[in-house]
Structure 1
Amino acid sequence: MSTLTRRRLLTISAAALALPGRAALAAEARWQGQALGAHASLHIRHLSQAEGAPLLAEVEAELARLEAIFSLYRSDSALVRLNRRGRLDLPPPELLEVLTLARTAHAMTGGLFDPSVQPLFAAYAEAGAAGRPCSGAALERACGLTGFGRVAFDAEAIRLEPGMALTLNGIAQGFITDRIAGLLRARGLGEVLVDMGEIAVLGTGWRVGIAGTARRVTLDNHAIATSVALGTVLDAKGRIGHIFQPGSGWAEPARAQASVIADSAALADALSTAAVLMPEAALRALEGDDIRVLTV
């Protein structure tokens, strides 16, 4: 099964950045690494690599700390422990912040953004490992375990109903992008591009390419996230993508891809995930002074 993941598409997009003209002769500290298993990068204007080294070390430490909360691939992460046990007492505040934002995005999208679809991923993964299509019975069971409204959380604990599990892949990259951008802003930096799976910029005049298209947009102190309906395919025929219609397991997407520009990379991340499924009228209803939607 050949796949081009959503994160890879975003990396291609970030690699196509056109630099602000005034910065062409300026120093720039750069970093490349990993965030939640995907390629990540930073560009910090007006700092040499040596000047930026202490900041980049601080970024790496913060990334490691956030990985320990949100990763689905670390057996000791807070999210994996929650999914394994169905309950997480005294959860990290960052996890509560993401769940609170997810609740907002869930409401804004009429329930189409739903982090509780992890059982659907598991059903397709199990079928794929066995070399067979995912059965209707397996999908029905998985759908019965979805519904973000059934997830309870507060400062004391996060509680899942038996069999439920969460994936935060549609929002955690954006949240981490925001956190790194905020860390660098707090250090007094004003011209930065952060790509931690989603893109956020500090400063003005950053030209960013939209994944899979020739289109570019200018970002001024904003973030952008792009979701591709078939960015990762889950069946041998390449028809079923990684963005699910909650409650039904899979539905024909309304569009091939969607990008959202917003103040927050986490919100842009969540909304772009749902946007590939949303009817046109609902999609346009999302737009406002601080949210812009671009579709293909």
Structure 2
Amino acid sequence: MKLKNLSLFFTLLIVFGSCSKKETVLKGYVFGTSYKIAYMDSENHQKALDSLFYLVNKSLSTYIPTSDISRINKGDTTVVVDALFAEVFLKSKEIYKNTNGFFDPTVGGLVNAYGFGPKKEKKNLSAKEVKELMQFVGFDKVSLINGKIKKAQPEMYLDFNSIAKGFGIDVVARFLESKNINNYLIEIGGEIRAKGVKANQQPWIIQLVNPLKADTGNGFRKLNLSNKSMATSGNYRKYRVDDKGNKYVHILNPKTGFATESNLLSASVIAKKDCANVDAYATAFMAMGLEQTKAFLKKNKDLEVILLYSLKDGTLQEYTTYTSN
């Protein structure tokens, strides 16, 4: 599974604190990005975590041709989805409704057509072509009945990559807690879920770096993520430019089908919720843009955000509802 890689937009410096005999740190590569998991326990759970990653990929990865979602996208109507798929599907339905369709997993066909999916097609779509593809967008046209996915049109393409990485983090968190491990930090490609404290009894602190100066590692602000989840989505670097100079970004507006850039560079969402939730909302906010996101947040105060946007002169600006330190 290759998901949006936050390291393309931010450098996250994760401070793990002093060493402890009971602290275990696991590192690796999954979902198309790197991961780091630190927890306060001496037992190494690497094999169990690898098995969990395998199950998530087998169910939800659009980059694995034999996964359940890939088979469904190819038109296989015999697939009976597993509990992981069903949970992500139902959570996506909820967020799709809450965001009035700005989070939409059926936008995957357009993502592929623009060249940001597994096929790397890199088409320069005309307005007519976008309109034709938009008939296959709309999560309200997809349902889960008796364990099987029902699509209004067989051409509809499901893509849960904007929620699956956060969901993978939640799966790991549940496993750790089932082992009575209640002090941990899980980071996959920049998405984070943390609980309790570090080995030195200090909270889990991460540092966001200014996206306009990411190469220098300049600090933007520090965040206390103990007992919280955080996800960031952005179009700062993951884009392409065609031979005519037109710029296409990887997060599309599911209302219009266009991949045009806005002044909103990134959206970081922090909440005392599962990481899957904040992962999906971060994507939705990038699709909404700055002003619509601000309006949404006035009615949804349980989400804390850090929105970074640029003025016409290139100056970086911040809109935030984040208050915890």
TM category (shorter chain) comes to 0.7 to 0.9
Contact kept in structure 1, 2:4 and 2:162, CA below 8 Å:
no
CA shift, 1:58, in A, is 0.9
Are 1:265 and 2:278 an aligned pair?
no
Q: Which moved more, 1:80-89 or 1:131-140?
A: 131-140
Corresponding position of 2:162: 170
Instruction: Provide the C-alpha distance between the structure 1 equivalents of 2:71 and 2:123, rounded to a whole number of angstroms.
Output: 29
Corresponding position of 2:313: none
Contact kept in structure 1, 2:231 and 2:270, CA below 8 Å:
yes
Instruction: Provide the C-alpha distance between the structure 2 equivalents of 1:132 and 1:270, rounded to a whole number of angstroms.
Output: 26
CA distance 1:165–1:234, change in 2 (3 Å): farther
Equivalent residue of 2:267, what SS?
strand
Instruction: Provide the C-alpha distance between the structure 2 equivalents of 1:170 and 1:132, rounded to a whole number of angstroms.
Output: 21
Corresponding position of 2:14: 17
Instruction: Provide the C-alpha distance between the structure 1 equivalents of 2:137 and 2:193, rounded to a whole number of angstroms.
Output: 31
CA shift, 1:235, in A, is 3.5
Instruction: Provide the C-alpha distance between the structure 2 equivalents of 1:235 and 1:119, rounded to a whole number of angstroms.
Output: 20
Instruction: Provide the C-alpha distance between the structure 2 equivalents of 1:199 and 1:10, rounded to a whole number of angstroms.
Output: 16
CA distance 1:115–1:200, change in 2 (3 Å): same
Of the three residues 102, 105, 108, the one matched with 2:98 is 108
CA shift, 1:121, in A, is 1.5
Contact kept in structure 2, 1:229 and 1:257, CA below 8 Å:
yes
CA distance 1:34–1:155, change in 2 (3 Å): farther
Corresponding position of 1:220: 226
CA shift, 1:135, in A, is 2.5
Are 1:232 and 2:244 an aligned pair?
no
Query: Is the helix fraction higher in 1 or 2?
Result: 1
Q: Deviations over 1:199-227 (max 9, x none)?
A: 10121411112363612210121110000
What amino acid sits opposite 1:100 in the alignment?
A: L
CA shift, 1:90, in A, is 2.2
Which sections of structure 2, spanning at least 5 residues, go unmatched?
Answer: 198-202, 212-218, 309-325
Query: Is the strand fraction higher in 1 or 2?
Result: 2
Of the three residues 184, 187, 192, the one matched with 2:184 is 192
Contact kept in structure 1, 2:9 and 2:237, CA below 8 Å:
no
Corresponding position of 2:265: 256
Of the three residues 241, 244, 249, the one matched with 1:241 is 249
Corresponding position of 2:307: 295
CA distance 1:248–1:131, change in 2 (3 Å): closer
Instruction: Provide the C-alpha distance between the structure 1 equivalents of 2:247 and 2:165, rounded to a whole number of angstroms.
Output: 25
Instruction: Provide the C-alpha distance between the structure 2 equivalents of 1:131 and 1:36, rounded to a whole number of angstroms.
Output: 22
What amino acid sits opposite 2:185 in the alignment?
A: L
Corresponding position of 1:138: 129
CA shift, 1:8, in A, is 4.4
CA shift, 1:136, in A, is 2.5
CA shift, 1:138, in A, is 2.3
What amino acid sits opposite 1:207 in the alignment?
A: I
CA shift, 1:17, in A, is 1.2
Corresponding position of 2:315: none
TM-score normalised to structure 1 length: 0.86
Corresponding position of 1:179: 171
Corresponding position of 2:108: 118
CA shift, 1:125, in A, is 2.4
Contact kept in structure 1, 2:115 and 2:123, CA below 8 Å:
no
Q: Which moved more, 1:33-42 or 1:169-178?
A: 33-42
State, as a whole percentage, how many aligned pairs show the same letter.
24
Number of aligned positions between the proteins: 282
CA distance 1:256–1:66, change in 2 (3 Å): same
Corresponding position of 1:150: 141
CA shift, 1:277, in A, is 3.0
Are 1:83 and 2:73 an aligned pair?
yes
Instruction: Provide the C-alpha distance between the structure 2 equivalents of 1:125 and 1:145, rounded to a whole number of angstroms.
Output: 17
CA distance 1:286–1:187, change in 2 (3 Å): farther
